[in-house]
Structure 1
Amino acid sequence: MKFYCFVLFMIVSVLGLSAPVQAGARDQAVGSYTKGKLKNASQLKQSGPGYVLLFPHRDRAYGTDDLIETVETVAEDLAARFPEGERLQVGDTSARQGGFISGHASHQNGLDVDFGYFRMNHQEQEFNWSTLFPDFTALGFDEEFVIGGKLSSNFDLQRNWELFKALVSTTKINRIFVDQVIKASLCTYSRSIDDFSVETLRHLRPWPKHGDHIHVRLLCPASSTNCAQQEPVAAGSGCDELGIE
């Protein structure tokens, strides 16, 4: 009986029929990104203009109002400007009440979200049924864009650069974790098209194991008075630290 209940829960989650989130109360990010919780969360729909959830069955699509609004606004903007491309592919945000979720050290207070990188071939990741049953220790993104220390030819420099600029322009971003090779490539690319944005580049933080996905972290909302803000990113583009002048 437990097995059948589990399967029913998974089917309901995959179909996007999750229980409604409490309405009326103000959302609260509590504690830190790595030791926190989430109150009165908003829930990201399974899909919307310009985006799709990759793992709806995990029931990890909750966040602060700021997080949900940022995903929806940026995705719709990119889709309008690049209608021929694939949708923004959204991985985990947070659990309904925050706290630890397997596969992540952070994502605990509704201010973190993972995205897949945009691809030159415009293909969206297909749903993998095998992710229904493990403990979700793997993030589940299906393409690595840094191979042998070099950027894959399937990495869409233009659209990923525009995505990062759009995110930073919201003024709600604390930092964005990407692979070192990806940041170095964007330093070079942005200068080559005369669009060298120090403000965007300084928010891109080189971090291991981020060659297959983007990790976006938002600032604590002003209304979340018990949220522990991470220190701001350093001044400057950071490109010189990667040997890019």
Structure 2
Amino acid sequence: MRLAVPMLVAWLSALAVASAQPAPRIVGGPGGGCIAGAVELPSDGPGYKTIRASRSWFWGHPDTVAALQLLGVRARAAGLPTLYVNDLSRPRGGPMVGVHSTHMLGLDADVWLDLEPKTATSAAERDAVEAASLVTPDGRGVQPGQWSVQHVTLLRLAAGLPGVDRILVNPAIKRQLCQTVQGDRGWLRTIRPWYGHGAHMHIHFRCPAGQDECRDQSPVPPGDGCDGSLDWWFAQLDLPPAPPAPPRKPPILPAACAGILAGQP
């Protein structure tokens, strides 16, 4: 099957960047890790822009970067507005203290669900943009004036990316998909409910082939996820507020990460 020219260009661009880098090496798993040989997602590409780039958190495994570029190309081909891409990983992975408990391996990316036309162009404007949640204040549904069929298209495109393991969204977004998607529903298995995530989706990729020191998360359960496991999230909304959680402890990293993270900006 012949790739459309923009899709081919996106993949060749990512591969060209990767060829000039050391071979990638991912060490660790869901609880903590790092990456050597990460590549940086360009700040602009067909169908996407990065935001808050001053943090330099746009590094990932070459396969991750290539998949995000492909998402931008496919989103544009589907008639979607330009996407905002936020955090991937730091240049050598490792913890993002106080922000993310994941994003350490170069296998994660946050893509905003904002499908309004994008007006921020300068670095200062991109650093200042704020995301609007698609979820109602009570957490039980999506905002009728904001949710659209384009969001379904975007999530379906993301679920079909090569190497994708799971995509985290707010439980209300997952329920909206369960209630409205017709026809092929197999891709809904990839869309998983999680705390927050009302304004963006968190795309997590599997460990690439050959990365023997990389540990994947537990497999996603079979089925489309539109069952009692989804109902659990909404039952929690009826419970009294939980006491504040204690501060998160720093992750315990594999010993090999000490050398990889040395000199991390």
**What is the TM-score normalised by the length of structure 2?**
0.72
User: CA separation in 1, counterparts of 2:145 and 2:26?
Assistant: 36
- Contact map agreement 1:116 1:141 (CA 8 A) in 2: no
Q: Describe how 1:74-85 pairs up with structure 2 within 5 A.
A: 74-82=71-79, 85=80
Instruction: Give the paired residue count.
Output: 210
Give the superposition deviation at 1:90.
0.3
Q: Describe how 1:217-236 pairs up with structure 2 within 5 A.
A: 217-236=204-223
Give the superposition deviation at 1:81.
1.7
Note if 1:111 corresponds to 2:107. Answer: yes
Query: Where does structure 1 lack aligned partners over 5 or more consecutive residues?
Result: 1-19, 134-139
Query: Which residue in the other structure is 1:65 paired with?
Result: 62
Give the superposition deviation at 1:162.
2.0
SS of the equivalent of 2:181 reads helix
The list of structure 1 runs, each at least 4 consecutive aligned residues, that deviate by more than 3 angstroms after superposition, is: 125-133, 154-157
Q: Describe how 1:23-34 pairs up with structure 2 within 5 A.
A: 23-34=20-31
Match of 1:208 among 195, 200, 211: 195
Match of 1:94 among 58, 65, 89: 89
User: CA separation in 2, counterparts of 1:233 and 1:141?
Assistant: 31
Match of 2:34 among 34, 37, 41: 37
Query: Which residue in the other structure is 2:144 paired with?
Result: 153
SS of the equivalent of 1:146 reads coil
Distance 1:33 1:125, change over 3 A: farther
Give the superposition deviation at 1:239.
0.8
Distance 1:54 1:154, change over 3 A: farther
SS of the equivalent of 2:81 reads coil
Distance 1:130 1:158, change over 3 A: closer
Query: Which residue in the other structure is 2:236 paired with?
Result: none
Match of 2:133 among 140, 144, 160: 144
Deviations 1:207-230 (A, max 9, x none): 111111111100000121110111
Query: Which residue in the other structure is 1:240 paired with?
Result: 227
Give the superposition deviation at 1:21.
8.5
For the aligned residue pairs, the C-alpha RMSD in angstroms reads 2.5
Q: Describe how 1:123-134 pairs up with structure 2 within 5 A.
A: 123-124=117-118, 126=120, 129=124
Give the superposition deviation at 1:154.
4.3
Query: Which residue in the other structure is 2:174 paired with?
Result: 183
Overall identity of the aligned pairs, in % = 27
User: CA separation in 1, counterparts of 2:149 and 2:195?
Assistant: 23
User: CA separation in 2, counterparts of 1:162 and 1:209?
Assistant: 21
User: CA separation in 2, counterparts of 1:208 and 1:159?
Assistant: 23
User: CA separation in 2, counterparts of 1:185 and 1:201?
Assistant: 11
Which amino acid in the other structure matches residue 193 of structure 2? P
Give the superposition deviation at 1:132.
6.6
Which amino acid in the other structure matches residue 114 of structure 1? D
User: CA separation in 2, counterparts of 1:52 and 1:21?
Assistant: 20
Give the superposition deviation at 1:24.
4.0
Query: Where does structure 2 lack aligned partners over 5 or more consecutive residues?
Result: 1-16, 232-265
- Contact map agreement 2:67 2:162 (CA 8 A) in 1: no
Give the superposition deviation at 1:30.
1.6
User: CA separation in 1, counterparts of 2:27 and 2:119?
Assistant: 32
Give the superposition deviation at 1:141.
4.5
Deviations 1:85-132 (A, max 9, x none): 42111010000000011300000010000010043xx23374795997
